[in-house]
């Protein structure tokens, strides 16, 4: 019996929400292990659309335990608002089915303000963050000055920690020409939210260890994608956490040996939100068509995503660095009706050919894609639930992707609907 980690194998927005929801039918526990509420997962269940940012996708399924691991940075007010929204859609959310790691770092209003100040500044590199304070919260975490969920239970200790945190942030604010933070006001906000958040708090690592001993199936849900990993992504245009499957153990407190299968989610083309390199980006009518047919707008921000051809070089690199065993290929139906489809199989850089994306920012910006052209198809693949429903050119395209990325397709998604999924082999290994 294998526990499964689901990670994005591109720049995020690959359709992880639907795949995790589909797999959660076979799981007892669903765990978020990194990121914050900058990552949006859209689920469509029986015609109802759910948009989640912090809550694990398993929360919409009754009987599944949802866990927010210690690797996630949590805006407590955003979490409570999301819980209220989901409850308004008829989903039960309570401490009975949701647990929040007591050692999660909190995102505070000062983090959001700092994020916005940096993004609006004329100096430095603009990253294109969501301005939700995720990066600054992670900075305070590694700087050992963060406020954590467990601190809310100790008002006297909290007061001392807030004072130490503000000594750092007020100096930063002065550099932006901003006044100091109201210490008493921040403390009052935290004390007010504490009784609403603390009922969900607990030692997640113990709960997951118990679940493993009982033979329960655990599904680990990543946010963003491999190419946004702070170490292995297109730095500095990345998120502030590690997005690879290696983060599962650190971000939840479970043993690395407990991860039995890593599923990488990959679109049949490529998209990216925000700034940074994008070798296969299409700024022509084809790119516009992909964006329109794929409804490529951010779940959280509403920002239009940049679109381009499938980049086998990047996905193969993600598979190697992320230890991905197989992929779930999503949005195949968006390619329906194209006369020809291109796949990037290598790069040209300074007169030479390379088969990987270099680490340097200037080199990443200069690589030019080498394409292989394949025939498209006119028949619709939307809603297909078996290989028999797919046309020959579409199957040929899938098989060629498998060859290029050197990993098998485990699942194939043909629409946002949960059941429009073709299972090739089950990651849970029945």
CA–CA gap between residue 222 and residue 412 (Å, rounded): 19
The dihedral sign for the CA sequence 305, 308, 312, 313:
negative
- Three-class DSSP category at 172: helix
| Residue from 362, 350, 351 nearest 277 by CA | 362
Q: What phi, psi does 298 have (nearest 5°)? A: -60, 135
Cβ contacts of residue 210 below 8 Å, gap of 6+? none
What does the DSSP assignment read for 22-85? HHHTT-SEEEE-SB-TT--EEEEETTEEEEESSS-GGGGSTT-EEEE-TTBEE-HHHHHHHHHH
Tell me if 324 sits within 8 A of 9, measured CB to CB: yes
Active site residue 425: no
On the 0-12 / 13-18 / 19+ scale of CB atoms within 10 A, 332 is buried
Q: Which residue among the candidates 37, 41, 111, 169 is catalytic per the annotation?
A: 41
| Residue from 54, 51, 93 nearest 72 by CA | 54
Tell me if 50 sits within 8 A of 308, measured CB to CB: no
Cβ contacts of residue 411 below 8 Å, gap of 6+? 19, 22, 263, 328, 329, 421, 422, 423, 424
Peptide bond into 378 cis (omega under 30): no
Q: What phi, psi does 382 have (nearest 5°)? A: -65, 130
On the 0-12 / 13-18 / 19+ scale of CB atoms within 10 A, 94 is exposed
> CB atoms < 10 A from the CB of 48, how many?
11
CA–CA gap between residue 206 and residue 384 (Å, rounded): 41
| Residue from 16, 43, 31 nearest 416 by CA | 43
> CB atoms < 10 A from the CB of 388, how many?
7
Active site residue 169: no
Catalytic residue positions?
A: 13, 41
């Amino acid at each position: 019996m294998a526990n499964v980690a689901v990670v994005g194998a591109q720049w995020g927005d690959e359709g992880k929400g639907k795949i995790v929801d589909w797999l959660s039918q076979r799981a007892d526990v669903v765990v978020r292990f990194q990121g914050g509420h900058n990552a949006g997962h859209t689920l469509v269940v029986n015609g109802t659309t759910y948009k989640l940012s912090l809550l694990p996708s398993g929360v919409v399924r009754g009987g599944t335990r949802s866990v927010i691991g210690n690797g996630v940075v949590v805006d407590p007010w955003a979490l409570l608002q999301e819980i209220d929204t989901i409850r308004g859609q008829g989903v039960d959310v309570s401490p009975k089915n949701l647990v929040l790691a007591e050692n999660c770092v909190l995102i505070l209003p000062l983090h959001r303000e700092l994020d916005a100040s940096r993004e609006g500044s004329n100096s430095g590199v603009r990253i294109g963050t969501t301005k939700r304070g995720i990066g600054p919260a992670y900075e305070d975490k590694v700087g050992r000055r963060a406020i954590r969920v467990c601190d809310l239970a100790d008002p006297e200790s909290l007061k001392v920690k807030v004072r130490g945190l503000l000594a750092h942030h007020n100096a930063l604010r002065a550099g932006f020409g901003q006044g100091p933070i109201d210490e008493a006001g921040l403390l009052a906000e935290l004390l007010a939210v504490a009784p609403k958040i603390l009922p969900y708090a607990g030692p997640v690592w113990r709960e997951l260890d118990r679940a493993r001993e009982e033979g329960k199936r655990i599904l680990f849900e990543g946010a963003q994608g491999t190419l946004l990993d702070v170490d292995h992504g297109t730095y500095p245009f990345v998120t502030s956490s590690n997005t690879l499957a290696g983060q599962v153990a650190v971000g939840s407190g479970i043993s690395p040996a407990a991860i039995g299968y890593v599923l990488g989610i990959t679109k049949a083309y490529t998209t990216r939100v925000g700034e940074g390199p994008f070798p296969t980006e299409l700024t022509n009518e084809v790119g516009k068509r992909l964006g329109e047919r794929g409804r490529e707008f951010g779940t959280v921000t509403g920002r239009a995503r940049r679109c381009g051809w499938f980049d086998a070089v990047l996905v193969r690199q993600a598979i190697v660095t992320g230890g991905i065993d197989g992929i779930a290929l999503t949005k195949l139906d968006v390619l329906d009706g194209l006369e020809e489809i291109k796949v990037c199989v290598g790069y040209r850089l300074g007169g030479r050919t390379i088969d990987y994306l270099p680490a340097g920012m200037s080199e990443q910006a200069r690589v030019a894609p080498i394409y292989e052209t394949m025939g498209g198809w006119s028949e619709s693949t939307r809603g297909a639930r078996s290989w028999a429903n797919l046309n020959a050119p579409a199957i040929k395209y899938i098989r060629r992707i498998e060859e290029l990325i050197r990993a098998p397709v485990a699942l194939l998604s043909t629409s946002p609907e949960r059941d429009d999924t073709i299972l090739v082999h089950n990651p849970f290994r029945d």
